[in-house]
Amino acid sequence: MAFYVCLISASLVFLGAATAAQQTKPGPHDDGPPVIVQPGAPGQGGKVLTPAAAAIKPRTPAEADVAFMQGMIMHHSQAVEMTELLRTRGYSKDLLEFGKRISISQSDEIKYMKQWLTDRGQSVEMQMDMGGMKMDAKDMQMPLMPGMLSPKQMEALEKASGPAFDHLFLTGMIQHHTGALIMVKDLFDTPGAGQDAVLFDFATDVDNTQTAEIKIMQAMLSKEKQ
C-alpha cells in the first residue's frame, strides 16, 4: 500500500514561517473544516493540501514487486509440494510436525500473494518473454527462482523414503528457504522496488519466518549426524 503520487497543484498554499504566524490559530473547539497538512523537512515550511490534492492516487506496482510476488508464489508452491511428499514419505515425527507448519504458512501466503497481484490487476503467474515467444514459467524445465530444487532433485526426493528422505528433505528445504532470503534481499536491492507497504510487511515477515525455519532445520540436520 505504500506510496502514491500526490500532484503538487497550483492550488497548494505554501505556509512560510511568517505567514503561518499570521494565521488565526483555531481554538480547541473550533468547528471549522479539518485541515490537511503536509509538513516539510525539519526546519522547512509545510503545505496545506486540499482534499482533492491529498487523495490517494492509485499506484502502479513496480515491475520488480510484481515479479517478486509471482516468483515467490512459484517458490512457495514447491515447498508445499515437498511437504506433501513429507506427509507420506517422512520418517521423523519431529520433522512431520514441522512440515505441517511449513505447509500452513506457505499455503496461506500463496493465497495472500495471489490476492495482492489480483488486487493490482496483475497476473498471478510469471510470463517469460523468450525471444518473442511468450510462455508461462510453469512450462519451463528449469528452476527459475533461487534455491528451488531442480527436477532431478525433486525426482530423487520422490523416490526416497525413511531417514534418507528426511535428509534430502532437510537439505532441500534449507536450499529452498535460503533462496527465498536471497529473493527478499534482491528485491530490496532493486532500485525503486519494495516501496509498496503491504509488500514491505510481507517480505519482512518472509525473511523473519524463513530465517528461523532454516535455523531449526540446521539443528535437525546436526542432530541427524549424531
Partner 1 sequence: MMERKVLLSIAFAATLPLFGQTQTAAVTPPAKAPAPAPTSTVFTNPRSGPDDPRIGLKGGLYDAGEAAFGLERLISLPKPPGFAPGNVITSPAAAAADPANMTATAGAAPHPAAPSPMSQYGSTNSDLAFSGNHLFVGNYNGINTYDIDNPKEVKLRMSLVCPGGQGDVSVYGHLLFMSAEAMNGRVDCGTQGIPLPAGYVPPVVPPPPPPEPGKPPVRAQRPPPPPSPDRFRGVRIFDITDIANPKQVAAVQSCRGSHTHSLLVDPKDKDNVYIYISGTGMVRQSEELADCSGGDPKANPNTALFRIDIIKVPLAHPELAKIVNSPRIFTDTQTGDINGLWKGGNHGEGTQTSSVTNQCHDITIYSALGLAAGACSGNGILLDISDPVNPVRIDAVSDPNYSYWHSANFSNDGTKVLFTDEWGGGGQPRCRATDPMNWGADAIFTLKDRKLTLASYYKMPAPQTEFENCVAHNGSLIPIPGRDIEVQAWYQGGVSVVDFTDASHPMEIAYFDRGPIDPAKRAMGGQWSTYWYNGYIYGSEIARGVDVFKLVPNKYITQNEIDAANQVHFDELNVQDQPKIVWPKNFVVARAYIDQLSRDNGLDAKKIAALQAAMAKVEAHPDKKKVAQLKTMAVSLDKDAAAAKTPADASRLKALAEIMKQGGTTTSRL
Contact positions with partner 1 (CB under 8 A) in 125-184? 146-147, 171, 174-175, 178-179, 182, 184
Q: Is 9 in the site for partner 1 (CB under 8 A)?
A: no
Total binding residues for partner 1 by CB under 8 A?
A: 99
Q: Rounded to whole angstroms, how far apart are CA atoms 30 and 159?
A: 75
Q: Which of 11, 16, 84, 108 binds partner 1 (CB under 8 A)?
A: 108
Query: Is there binding between residue 186 and partner 1 (CB under 8 A)?
Result: yes
Give the CA distances from residue 185 to residues 18, 108, 171, in Å, rounded to whole numbers and listed in that order: 46, 22, 21
Yes or no: say if 168 and 157 are a contact pair by the CB < 8 Å rule. yes
Q: Is 11 in the site for partner 1 (CB under 8 A)?
A: no
| Least Cβ distance, residue 211 to partner 1 (angstroms) | 6
Q: Which residues contact 125 (CB under 8 A, 6 or more apart)?
A: 70, 73, 136, 137, 138
Name which position in 13, 16, 155, 204 contacts partner 1 (CB under 8 A): 204
Between strands 133-136 and 127-130, the pairing is: antiparallel
**Minimum distance, C-beta of residue 150 to partner 1, in the bound complex (Å):** 8
Is the Cβ–Cβ distance between 35 and 83 less than 8 Å? no
Query: CB within 8 A of 100, min separation 6: which ones?
Result: 83
Per CB under 8 A, the list member of 4, 136, 138, 144 interacting with partner 1 is: 4
Which residue, 11 or 60, has its beta carbon nearer to partner 1? 60
200 binds partner 1 (CB under 8 A): yes
**Which CB, 41 or 130, lies closer to partner 1?**
41
Alpha carbon distance 155, 152 (integer Å):
5
Binding partner 1 (rule: CB under 8 A), the pick from 12, 91, 112, 158 is 112
The stretch among 76-84, 91-99, 129-137, 157-165 that binds partner 1 (CB under 8 A) is: 91-99
Q: Is 99 in the site for partner 1 (CB under 8 A)?
A: no
Q: Which of 174, 166, 61 is nearest to 119 (CA)?
A: 61
Under rule CB under 8 A, which residues in 50-89 are in contact with partner 1?
A: 51-52, 54-66
Q: Which of 54, 34, 37, 33 is nearest to 45 (CA)?
A: 37
Q: Is 118 left (phi over 0), alpha (psi -120 to 50) or beta?
A: alpha
